[in-house]
Structure 1
Amino acid sequence: MTSRAEKLLRSMSEDVSALQDYLHSHNLPELSIEEDVPFQFQTNPNFSTRRDSAIKACRELIALLSGSLGTLVNQTPHAIANTQAVCKFNIASNLTEDSDVTTYNELARRCRLPETEIRRIVRALIPSHVFREYSDGRVAHTAASKLLAVDPIMREWIDLSVTEMIPAVLKFPDAMEMWPGSEEPNRTGYSLAHDTQDMAFAHMAKFPGRSERFMAAMKLFSRAPENSPRYLVENYPWAAIGRGGVIVDIGGSSGEYSIPILQTFTNLQVIIQDLPEVIGKFDDRELPDNIKDRVSFTVHDFFTKQPVQGADVYLLRWILHDWSDTYAINILRALIPALHLKSKILINEHILPLPGEAPVPQEMALRTFDTSMRAFTNGKEREVSDWEDLIARADNRLKIEKIETPEGSALGIIVVGWEPSKEV
C-alpha cells in the first residue's frame, strides 16, 4: 500500500518535471535560488498551478516529517498567534470532549465563543496542518492540534513565544540601533518590547507566574531526544574520576542533567548550585532514594567566586548561551580560584555549525536559538572559533581539551582543562 508520504513525493516529482519542461520550452534556466523565474512566466497558469501544487505537497511532507512538535515550534508569527488563541480559549481540548470530530457550531458552544471566531481561528491554522476540516464542514484534530489539547508544556511554550520571545525578536534591530555593540543584558529587544530597564529574567520575576511559565516551557526542549542527558552521561569519562568524585552543577536548577550521571556512576556526588528562588523549589524529598546521600542543593550566584574548591568537574549546561561574551567570561573567571590541576570545566552547549555543515533543519533551529538569545539577553550561540576565543580571553591558563557534538545530540561537549603553570 502506498503511503501518504510516497504519494506526496510522486506528486512533487511530477510537478517539478512539468515545471522544468515549461522552463525548457521557454528557453529559461532551471529553478535556482540564485535567480528567479521572470514574473511574466511565474503568473502563467501552466507554471503557477504546478508550482503551487508542488509547494502544497512539500509543506505537507515537511509536516509529516517534522511531527506535531516540529509543526508547532516552527510556525510563522501569524500562525502562532492563532495557536495562542487556541490555547487561551481551550479550542483544541474542547474538540476532544467526546470525539475528535465536531461541527464549528458545537465547538463554539463548548468554548463559549461566536462561531465565526472559532471558524476563523481554526481555518487560519489548517494550512499549517493544525486542525483539518472535512468536506461536510466538520472540524477534526491533526496530531499537532491533539498535542495542544493534551500537553500543558506545549501550551506554556506557545504562550511564552507569543508574549515574551517574539516581541523581543522583532525589536532586536531597534536595540542594535539604540545601543550599538552593547553586550549588556538589559539593552536588548526584550528591553524595548517590554519597556523595562531590567534584564529579561529579573523582569519576568516581578510578575507572578511568568518565571514559572518560562521554566515550564524550557522543559519542552529538555525532553527532546536530541537534548537527552544520555549524551552527557555517555561522552565524558565519568568512571575515571574515582570514588568520591565531585561534580558541581552550576545553575543546575533541579539537577535534570547531573542527576542522571549519578544514577549511572555510583562513585560520584553532585552539588547543585543556583539562585535562592530556584534552589528553594527543590529538596531531597524529590530525589530517588539511591542517590539522596550524594546530592546537595546550594545557593550560589555564578558571577561570584566559586566556593567549592578542587571539584573534579564544574558543569555549565546551557548557561553561557544566556550571556554575551563579556558576562560569559566573568562566569568562567569566577571559577578560576577554585580550580585544581585535576579540575575540568565541562560546557554542554550548542556548537553552531558553519553554513552547510549541518542538515538545514538543524542549522535553522540553531540560528533561531542564536537570534532568540540575542533578542532576549544579548546572549549568543557560538561556533567553534567563538568558543576558542571565549576561553582564551577568560584566562590563558584555560585550555580546550575536547570540543565536539556527539552524533545524535543537539548539544556539544567542550572540556576545558586547567594549566596553572602558565604565566597569566
Structure 2
Amino acid sequence: MSVIKELARIINEGVNTIQSKCDASGKPFPSLDEPYTPESDAVRIQVIADALPIIAAANQLIATLQIPAMSIIVASGYVHVSAAFATIAKANVVEALREAGPQGLHVKEIVEKIKKPMDPAKLARMLRICATYHIFREVAPDVFTNNRISSLLDKGKPLKEILAKPLEAFDESPGCAAFVDILIDESFKAAAVTQDHLMDPSTAFSDEPNQLPIQRAMHTNKALFEWYDEPGNELRRRRFNIAMKESVKFEVPGAILQGFDWGALPKGSKVVDVGGGIGGTTMALYDIHKHLRYVIQDREAVIKQAQQVWQTERPEALENDTLALQPHNFFEKQPVKDASVFLLRTVIHDWSDRYARTILTHLRAAAAPYTQLVLVDQVAPLACSEDGISDVPGATAPTAPPPLLPNFGLAGSMVYNLDIQMILLCGGEERTVLKISQLLSSAGWKLQRIARVPGNLLHKIIATPA
C-alpha cells in the first residue's frame, strides 16, 4: 500500500472508532463552531489515544501532498499568525465577541467595544488569518465570532471590568488565557532575537539564566523570575503565577492523582511542593488527600500571592495548619528535613543541568531514607526510533506505527514547543529519559520509574535517595 493510502487508512479507521465511541456514549464529538466548555469536551478524554494517530497522520498527509516550497513558506509564516493572534488577544477581542453572542460583531463594533485606537480594516485582516487556522469564525463579511478554540482565551470577566482593572485581568481566569498571553508577550518578543542570540559567541554556549533571548529582547540582565519581581512587571508576575496554578486543568482530569499512590502515604506525611507557585498542584492534592500535610515553597512575592489565593479559596487549610506557605530559594539549603515527598511540578525543566543539579542536590541533602522525589515534567522522545532504559519501568515511551513518525509528529509536538520555550526564557530543557536519569544520578538520586498518564503532557518521574 502506498504511503498516502496508508495515512488515509489510519485517518479513516481512527475516525470510525471515535464516532463509534461517541455513539455508544450518546454524546456527540464537540464541534469547532461551539464555544468550549469542560462538559462538552468530556468525550474527548475518552478518545485521546484514538485521536493521536489521526492527528499525526493528517499532518503527515498534508506535508506529503503539499508543494514543498509552500510547506516551508507556510511554516515560516506562522509568525504572521502569532502577530495577529497576539494583537487580538491583547485587545480583549475575545471577551467582546463573547458578550456579543453567536451572531458575532462587525469589526467596527468590536473596535468601539474594546476602546482601542485600532483600524477596523486591519483588525478584520488579523481575525481573518486566525479564522483560516480555525481560531475564530467569520460568519459574514467582516463579522466575526468566537469558536471552540478562540473561546479558550476568554478571561471569564465582563469586558468593562477588564478595562477598569487591567492588573487583575487574569485573576481567577480559567488559566489558558494567562498561559497563551505569556507566549504572545515574553516568548514572542524573545523569539524575534533568538537567531542573533544563538549565533553570538558571547551567548551561544551560555547556560546562565540571565544570558538568554528574553534578556536580549527586554534589555535586562535579570533572570526571568528576578525580572518578574521588578517594578513594572506586576501584571506579568501575576499572570505567570495564575498560568501555573491553572495549568493543572490543561491536563487529563485528575492527572496529578495518577501514577503515584498519594493515598498510601501515612497520615500526617509531609508533601513539600518545591517551587510550587501559588499552589495549583497542592490544591488539587489537598482536595482529595486531606490526611497529608503540605508545604508550598516559592519566592517571597509569590508566597504573598499564594496567601491571598488560599485565604480566598481554601481558608481552612491555613487555619488547621494542614498547609504551610514558606518563602524559600531552592538554590539554597532545603529547610524541611522530614519530607515524605519532595514534589516539583514543571520546575526542573526551567533550569540548565548545572542549576537543576544544585536544586536536586539540596533536596538530596535534606532527604530522609524514606523520602521520595516526584518530578512532574515532560519526557522528550526523539523524532526517530530509540532504545529506552530497559531496567526502569515506564522509561520506554509508546511509539506510533509506521509510516507515522515514532513520536506521533504534530500530535506529540507540544514537548518540543516547550523545549524551545526553555531556550527563550529559562535556559532549561525538556529532557530525554537518558538525560533525566543522568541528571538525577549526578545529584544523588536514583530513577525508579516513570509513570505515564495516557493522553497527558506531563509524567511523573519518581526517584529515591541513591
Are 2:334 and 1:306 aligned?
Answer: yes
Distance across 1 between alignment mates of 2:140 and 2:306: 52
What SS class does the counterpart of residue 369 from structure 2 fall into? coil
**Aligned counterpart for 1:326 among listed residues 354, 357, 372:** 354
Match of 2:25 in 1: none
Deviation, structure 1 residue 351: 0.9
TM-score (norm 1): 0.74
Query: What RMSD over aligned residues (CA atoms) do the two structures have, in Å?
Result: 3.3
Contact 1:130 1:142 in 2 (8 A): yes
Normalising by the residue count of structure 2, what TM-score does the alignment of the two structures yield?
0.68
Give the equivalent residue in structure 1 for 2:413: 364
1:234 alignment counterpart: 258
Where 2:305 maps in the other structure, the secondary structure is coil
1:268 Cα deviation from its structure 2 partner:
1.6
Aligned to 2:57: none
Once residues 93 and 205 of structure 2 are traced to their aligned partners in structure 1, the CA distance between those partners, rounded to angstroms, is 44
**For residue 223 of structure 1, what is the aligned residue in structure 2?**
249
Corresponding residue for residue 15 of structure 1: none
Pairwise CA distance, 1:299: 1.6
Work out whether residues 273 and 299 of structure 1, in 8 Å CA contact, stay in contact via their aligned partners in 2: yes
In 2, the alpha carbon distance for the partners of 1:192 and 1:241 equals 46
Comparing 273-282 with 254-263, greater Cα deviation is found at 254-263
Instruction: Show structure 2 runs of 5+ residues with no match.
Output: 1-10, 13-60, 157-169, 384-404
CA deviations 1:181-205 (Å, max 9, x no partner) are 2211111111211122111221232
The structure with the largest alpha-carbon Rg is: 1
What's the counterpart of residue 248 of structure 1?
272
What secondary structure, in the 3-state scheme, does the structure 2 residue paired with 1:301 have?
coil
Indicate how the Cα distance of structure 1 residues 394 and 123 shifts in structure 2: closer, same or farther if over 3 A, else same: same
Higher mean Cα deviation, 143-152 or 182-191? 143-152
Q: How many residues end up aligned between the 2 structures?
A: 357
Alpha-carbon deviation of 1:301?
A: 0.9
Alignment partner of 1:124 is 2:133? no
* Residues 322, 377 of structure 1: 8 Å contact kept: yes
Q: Is the 8 A contact 2:197 2:212 kept in 1?
A: yes
Q: Amino acid of the residue matched to residue 177 of structure 1? A: M
Matched, 1:188 2:201: no
2-side partners of 1:321 and 1:339: how far apart?
21
Match of 1:16 in 2: none
Cα shift at 1:172: 3.1
SS at 1:280's partner residue? helix
Aligned to 2:106: 103
Q: Which has the higher contact order (CA 8 A, sep 6+)?
A: 2
The whole-number CA distance in structure 1 between the counterparts of 2:106 and 2:65 is 46
How far residue 314 of structure 1 moved from its aligned partner, in angstroms, is 1.0
Q: For 2:184 and 2:108, how far apart are their aligned partners in 1?
A: 28
Q: Percent identity?
A: 25
Matches within 5 A, 1:324-403: 324-355=352-383, 356-395=405-444, 398-403=445-450
Q: Residue 169 of structure 1: which of 161, 183, 191 is its match?
A: 191
CA distance in 1, matches of 2:443, 2:83: 42
1:14 maps to what in 2? none
Q: Name the residue aligned to 1:416.
A: 463
Distance 1:310 1:115 in 2: 60
Q: 1:114 to 1:173 in 2, by over 3 A?
A: closer
SS of residue in 2 equivalent to 1:282: helix
Query: Is 2:231 aligned against 1:209?
Result: no
Alignment check: 8 A CA contact 1:321 1:379 kept: yes
**Displacement after TM superposition at 1:150 (Å):** 5.3
- What SS does the corresponding residue of 1:352 show, helix, strand or coil? coil
